[in-house]
């Protein structure tokens, strides 16, 4: 099958670790970077391609030896000083600088984005090259160390655990370690004048003037964590941070161990609580279990949407069945020209991916019952923890856990265009 984004990623090698040393000047939107990648060859290599946006590349080395390279149209081609046999490893180092520019897409600008006073990164699905050289494939997951230096008034939040924080004259260096494997599109840094709060056992970063509203709106996140741990299995990462940027955002976005909201998603009356549940659920479905290819995105968005419905039911709102009936009626009025398990790149974030995906899970839930459905989900997240998943694997996994033939049900929801009945 043709990948949705054939211009991104190189299947001839994998990256096991990224070490990013960055310096960012907020007023100038200037990023200076040194990226060290530990790569292993999947086949004999004499060159490799990295995805990288609009920067000036000043030097490339491989295992400490200067390497020839060419750079243009989002690709940095590195000629290896010596051929790399299949299975062998090498350290690739890239020094680059410039003003980060988001990757243009059908869904708007992706990746590094300037805020009114700071910056954020929201890369799904192809925005990671806007700020570092990478093998931009969801199935190439690696550990990360992210060091970012910026002016001291700003907080820096990145994936993983804060390993060190060093102050110098007017600037602070923040160093984060992300030990659990992470896809490049989930790597993220948030830079802003944030106040940090502990709310319901999780970390919340927000503008100080929004403290009261933010603490209220995120006040039930601890209860969500308890519910989702019960339904989906142990929380897969060391910590979790919700960031409220001091700008309006179209939609919240998840990163590994982190979710990013706009100030417009904080109203003081929990009017956007379903989105808080949705982004938290992505830590299991999307961040720990990441799709192997983008056509299977329903395995992330459908699950996170169904988690919204389950939270609604558990927290005293409308039950999941009511949400299912309402959305089934809406989807039935739309053109029946959509295949959930292969929607096409242009439809990657179509509402039907989210809602039909959730409906497929609700139909499966009703067919199996609580006593089978939730153990199936817990086994799914345990078996593929920090890995990659496909629709075919999910269907096979469900069938192995029940004597009931679920193939026809899943096939109708996932592979047929007409919307099945509820």
CA separation for the pair 346, 356 (Å, rounded): 17
- Cα 90 off chain centre by: 27
CA separation for the pair 77, 48 (Å, rounded): 6
The single residue listed with the structure tokens 């830590």 is 283
- Cα 356 off chain centre by: 21
Q: Are residues 132 and 18 in the same domain?
A: yes
Which one of 238, 264, 283 terminates a domain?
283
Q: Are residues 38 and 149 in the same domain?
A: yes
Structure confidence at residue 2 (pLDDT): 80
Structure confidence at residue 4 (pLDDT): 96
- If one counts every other C-beta atom within 10 angstroms of the C-beta of residue 127, the result is 28
Q: Are residues 336 and 398 in the same domain?
A: yes
The verdict on residue 61 lying in a domain is: yes
Ranges of H-type helices in 104-262: 211-217, 221-232
Q: Are residues 209 and 127 in the same domain?
A: no
Q: Crossing angle of helices 298-314/391-400, nearest 10°?
A: 50
The single residue listed with the structure tokens 């919204």 is 308
pLDDT in tens, 50-86: 999 999 999 999 999 999 999 999 999 999 999 999 9
The verdict on residue 184 lying in a domain is: no
Using DSSP's 3-state secondary structure scheme, residue 104 falls into coil
Structure confidence at residue 146 (pLDDT): 98
Residue 263 sits in a domain whose CATH number is 3.30.2010.30
Q: Are residues 57 and 152 in the same domain?
A: yes
> What values do phi and psi take at 409, rounded to 5?
-65, -50
Q: Are residues 345 and 363 in the same domain?
A: yes
pLDDT less than 50: residues of the chain:
none
The verdict on residue 113 lying in a domain is: no
Spatial contact of 86 and 48, defined as CB atoms under 8 Å apart: no
Residue 383 sits in a domain whose CATH number is 1.10.390.10
Which one of 283, 307, 340 terminates a domain?
283
Which one of 249, 283, 317 terminates a domain?
283
Residues sharing a CB contact under 8 Å with residue 65, sequence separation 6 or more, in sequence order: 81
Structure confidence at residue 221 (pLDDT): 96
CA separation for the pair 111, 28 (Å, rounded): 18
CA separation for the pair 121, 130 (Å, rounded): 9
Q: Are residues 143 and 172 in the same domain?
A: yes
Structure confidence at residue 201 (pLDDT): 85
Q: Are residues 143 and 169 in the same domain?
A: yes
Provide the pairing of β-strand 56-62 with 45-51. Answer: unpaired
The verdict on residue 59 lying in a domain is: yes
Q: Are residues 307 and 391 in the same domain?
A: yes
CA separation for the pair 178, 354 (Å, rounded): 28
For the CA atoms of the chain, what is the radius of gyration? 22
The verdict on residue 50 lying in a domain is: yes
The verdict on residue 93 lying in a domain is: yes
The verdict on residue 393 lying in a domain is: yes
Q: Are residues 79 and 94 in the same domain?
A: yes
Residue 13 sits in a domain whose CATH number is 2.60.40.1730
Angle at the Cα of 131 from the Cα atoms of 210 and 192, rounded to 5 degrees: 20
Domain that holds residue 409: 290-414
Q: Are residues 279 and 334 in the same domain?
A: no
Spatial contact of 402 and 253, defined as CB atoms under 8 Å apart: no
CA separation for the pair 298, 18 (Å, rounded): 28
CA separation for the pair 233, 350 (Å, rounded): 28
E runs forming strands in 343-400: 388-389
Would you state the structure tokens that stand for residue 111, as one six-digit string? 């990746």
The verdict on residue 87 lying in a domain is: yes
Name the domain count of the chain: 3
Spatial contact of 296 and 127, defined as CB atoms under 8 Å apart: no
Q: Are residues 279 and 212 in the same domain?
A: yes
């Amino acid at each position: 099958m043709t990948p949705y984004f054939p211009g991104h990623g190189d299947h001839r090698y994998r990256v096991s670790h990224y070490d990013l040393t960055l310096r960012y000047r907020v007023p100038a939107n200037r990023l200076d970077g040194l990226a060290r990648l530990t790569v292993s060859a999947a086949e004999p290599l004499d060159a490799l391609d990295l995805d990288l946006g609009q920067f000036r590349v000043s030097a490339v080395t491989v295992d400490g030896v200067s390497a020839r390279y060419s750079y243009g149209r989002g690709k940095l081609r590195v000629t290896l000083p010596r051929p790399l046999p299949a299975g062998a490893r090498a350290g690739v180092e890239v020094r680059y600088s410039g003003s980060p520019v988001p990757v243009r897409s059908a869904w708007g600008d992706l990746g590094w984005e300037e805020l009114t006073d700071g910056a954020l990164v929201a890369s799904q699905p192809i925005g990671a090259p806007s700020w570092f050289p990478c093998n931009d494939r969801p199935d190439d997951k690696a550990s990360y160390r992210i060091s970012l230096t910026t002016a001291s008034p700003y907080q820096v939040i990145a994936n993983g655990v804060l390993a060190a924080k060093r102050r110098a004259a007017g600037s602070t260096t923040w160093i984060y370690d992300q030990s659990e494997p992470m896809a490049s599109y989930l790597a993220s840094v948030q830079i802003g004048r944030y106040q940090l709060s502990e709310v319901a056992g999780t970390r919340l970063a927000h503008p100080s003037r929004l403290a009261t509203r933010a603490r209220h709106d995120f006040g039930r996140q601890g209860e969500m964590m308890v519910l989702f741990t019960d339904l989906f299995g142990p929380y897969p990462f060391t910590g979790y941070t919700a960031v409220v940027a001091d700008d309006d955002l179209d939609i919240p976005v998840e990163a590994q161990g982190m979710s990013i909201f706009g100030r417009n998603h904080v109203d003081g009356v929990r009017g956007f609580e379903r989105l808080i549940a949705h982004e938290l659920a992505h830590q299991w479905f999307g961040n720990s279990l990441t799709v192997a290819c983008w056509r299977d995105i329903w395995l992330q968005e459908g699950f996170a949407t169904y988690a919204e419905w389950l939270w609604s039911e558990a927290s005293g709102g409308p039950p999941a069945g009511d949400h299912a009936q309402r959305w089934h009626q809406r989807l039935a009025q739309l053109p029946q020209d959509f295949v959930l398990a292969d929607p096409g790149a242009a439809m990657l974030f179509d509402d039907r991916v989210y809602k039909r995906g959730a409906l497929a899970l609700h139909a499966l839930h009703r067919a199996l019952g609580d006593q089978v459905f939730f153990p199936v989900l817990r086994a799914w997240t345990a078996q593929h923890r920090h890995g990659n998943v496909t629709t075919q694997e999910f269907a096979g996994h469900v069938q192995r856990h029940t004597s009931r033939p679920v193939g026809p049900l899943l096939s109708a929801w996932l592979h047929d265009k007409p919307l099945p009945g509820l």
